[in-house]
Structure 1
Amino acid sequence: MSNTKVLPLLEADGAAVAPCCPPLTERPMTAEEAETASRMFRALGDPVRLRLFSAVASHEGGEACVCDISDVGVSQPTVSHHLKKLKEAGLLTSERRGTWVYYRVEPSVLAAMGQLLVGESAAA
Structure 2
Amino acid sequence: MKPAHALIVTCVMLAACVSTGVEVKQEQMANFLLGFSTLDDVTAQLGKPSSQTTLVNGSTILIYSFAASRPHPESFIPFIGPLFAGGAIRSSTVFFEFDENGVLRSQRLTTSGSVSGWSVLPPDALP
Report if TM-score (shorter chain) is over 0.5. Answer: no
Q: Quick check: which one's strand share is greater? A: 2
Larger Rg: 2
Q: Quick check: which one's helix share is greater? A: 1
